[in-house]
Amino acid sequence: MLVEPLVEAAKTLAEKRFTVEYPEERESMPDTYRGMLRLDMDTCISCTACEKICPNKTITMVEVKTDKGVKIMPQVGIERCLFCALCEEVCPPKCLTLSKDYSFEAYDKRDLIKRPEELE
């Protein structure tokens, strides 16, 4: 009676851990994983297609000063994002993409609103 639990405990201690020492170690994500949005500000043409297609109204267009003047670019509220990739599909220059990055934790909800400069 007492031997079986001890044997089971010894087996468990000898097994490989299931958890990862985050953020030092990162788990590799599959190719189909949809994570944080990335924006290439140089190729964005300010077409607003991503804002129009977003089902959750996560994307809003804001003015950004660039070396060529002022452009409107997408600002993303990650807290509302469904990671559906519709914005990525509809983007003509393919400047808005979903990456495999899954580290977008925040203490304050306002930190989850990412300006175009933060999406690079």
Where in the chain are the domains? 29-119
Nearest-angstrom CA–CA distance, 112 and 9:
42
Helix (H) or strand (E) holding 37: strand 37-39
Per-residue pLDDT at 66 exceeds 90: no
CATH number of 29-119: 3.30.70.3270
Contact predicate 73/99, CB 8 Å: no
- pLDDT of res. 9: 85
Nearest-angstrom CA–CA distance, 58 and 74:
10
AA letter at 32: T
Q: What is the mean pLDDT of residues 71-98?
A: 92
Per-residue pLDDT at 75 exceeds 90: yes
- Check the CA dihedral 24-109-42-33 and report its sign: positive
Contact predicate 58/80, CB 8 Å: yes
When the pLDDT of each residue in the chain is averaged and rounded to a whole number, the result is: 87
Evaluate if pTM is beyond 0.75.
no
DSSP 9-29: HHHHHHSPPSS--TTTS-PPP
Question: Which pLDDT tens digit goes with each residue over 4-36?
Answer: 888 888 888 887 776 777 667 777 788 888 888
